[in-house]
Amino acid sequence: MKIAVVGSGIGGLASAILLQRKGHQVTVYEKNSCPGGKMGQINVDGYRFDTGPSLFTLPELVDELFELCSVQETERLPYVRLSNNCRYFYPDGTEFNFYQDREALYSEIERVFPHDAAAVRKRLLHAEEVYNLSAPVFLFSAFHKLSNYLTEPYRHMVFKLHKLDFFRTMHGANAKDFTDPRLIQLFDRYATYNGSSPFRAPATLNMIAHLENNKGAFFPVKGMYSIANSLYDLALKQGVRFEFNTRVEEIIRNGAAVSGIRTASGITSVDAVVSDVDVRSVANHLLKHPLKRIINKIERSSSALIFYWGINRSFPRLDVHNILFSSDYREEFKHLFKEKSLSADPTVYLFISSKIVPDDAPAGCENWFVMVNAPSDCGQAWDKLIAEARENIVRKIDKMLGVDIGSCIVTERIASPLTIARDTFSANGALYGTSSNSLLAAFLRHPNTLPGIKNLYFVGGSVHPGGGIPLCIASAKIVSNEIPDAL
């Protein structure tokens, strides 16, 4: 079949590789001049910044793509396991390291959270159990396909549904399981990994902690963008064609089947379309379909405000991933999802890839990716919000780390919900499509197909099974399994 993949985000790249391997003739149409979508990079004055994702989990899903294409291990994406998943800083001066090594982790927990040591062990085991139970159903299969409900993983899960903890919120479960508010805040934060609020998302999502803390946090030796680059190279080697700077303006239908795509150069006939575009943008701009009416009503996930700072010195006290917590988490999420604004005391995420990729900054310097969660765009006065947030962030970093960070910033770039929407066509700049702020929302994302339209498939972070690098690859695997091999 002749297949058009629209968008070269992680989901699009993985789909293109898998489908070309199946013998199809795949062309990827990308409006930007390079692949990667939200996984981007910028080079400024000797500093390199990954602009989007920074945490790499389940790298075996990337390995699998190379393996499928018979690429030798030495030729695959090189990455390392981090020894410290994240360094946490609290307003009361506490520092806590979530080490990967179990012995180191448990002695750190005894040091900082002695009353909750047993609860953390129990939680990590529970997160693993929930993941093992639900992943084959919710993450790695076409959840919306009724015939799957007769398969073994689904039957197994049905008998253990009570374990999935649907009926409490993440925060409700964390507040019950841990006594120390700082630890509750730490585990609540995993809701932000899919752009949701721990005060509304179901406790099932506490399994996210399993990926980072049991399976492990990893980092590509050449930075996050090398994931996109290596998949792009792999796709080219398989024979996938790429048309950059080519925006798809319409997905054309002939009755109940997709028949082509329209770009500025005209209509190209195809046998199938795999869309890696945010499904809300598809509904609003690419496809004439009533889908739009439903999809525009669903709450968007959070977005982000990011400052990319070239820093003229190094900070041994910081690690690759660092969190500077706020003093009132509930207030922060009220701002994000209710007031659609930014809290004056936001939790700040500092990601410094030059700690592990020295070439990412000049000698003795560091590349800081400074991010706060932001509401998705709904017409806020962003210039004002960004200026205020910058002041608040600088003040917070100075206070919590005892520095004068303003005097160390030698170069700056900024990403906001507006630029994320502009650059990736992610509606409202949402990072993960829809939020998971309701009981079943996480599992009721838009399916990978659209009932009533043949040969149109959806991949990427806005559809099933969800956002983030591993789940985008999972969506590509699901779609590739739906499309038969070429004859």
* Residue 30 found at the interface with ligand FAD (CB under 6 A): yes
Stretch that binds ligand FAD, among 68-76, 96-104, 116-124, 419-427 (CB under 6 A): 419-427
Residue nearest to ligand FAD (CB): 9
Kindly state the smallest distance separating residue 285's Cβ from ligand FAD, in Å: 7
Beta bridge partners of 253: 258
**127 versus 474: smaller Cβ distance to ligand FAD:** 474
- At 275, the amino acid letter reads S
Residues in the chain: 487
* Residue 446 found at the interface with ligand FAD (CB under 6 A): no
Binds ligand FAD (CB under 6 A): choice among 3, 4, 5, 11: 11
Kindly state the smallest distance separating residue 284's Cβ from ligand FAD, in Å: 11
The DSSP code for 389 is H
Kindly state the smallest distance separating residue 33's Cβ from ligand FAD, in Å: 10
* Residue 301 found at the interface with ligand FAD (CB under 6 A): no
Residue 311, classified by CB atoms within 10 Å of its CB into exposed (0-12), middle (13-18) or buried (19+), is: buried
Site for ligand FAD in 93-132 (CB under 6 A): none
Please work out the total of residues on this chain that contact ligand FAD, with binding judged by CB under 6 A. Answer: 37
Site for ligand FAD in 360-399 (CB under 6 A): none
Task: In whole angstroms, give the CA distance from residue 108 to residue 191.
Answer: 23
Contact between 348 and 209 (Cβ < 8 Å): no
Kindly state the smallest distance separating residue 301's Cβ from ligand FAD, in Å: 10
* Residue 77 found at the interface with ligand FAD (CB under 6 A): no
* Residue 9 found at the interface with ligand FAD (CB under 6 A): yes
Produce one character per residue of 382-398: b if its CB has 16 or more CB atoms within 10 Å, e if not: beebbeebbebbbebbe
* Residue 38 found at the interface with ligand FAD (CB under 6 A): yes
* Residue 196 found at the interface with ligand FAD (CB under 6 A): no
Binds ligand FAD (CB under 6 A): choice among 27, 41, 54, 428: 54
The DSSP code for 451 is T
The residues, ordered by sequence, that sit 6+ positions from 331 with a Cβ below 8 Å of its Cβ are 343, 345
DSSP string, 446-476: BPSEETTEEEEEE-STTBTT-SSHHHHHHHH
* Residue 277 found at the interface with ligand FAD (CB under 6 A): yes
User: How many CB atoms within 10 Å of residue 157?
Assistant: 17
Closest CA to 227 of 468, 44, 462: 468
The site for ligand FAD (CB under 6 A) is made up of 6-12, 29-32, 37-39, 52-55, 247-248, 276-277, 281, 304, 306, 420, 424-426, 431-432, 460-461, 467-469, 472
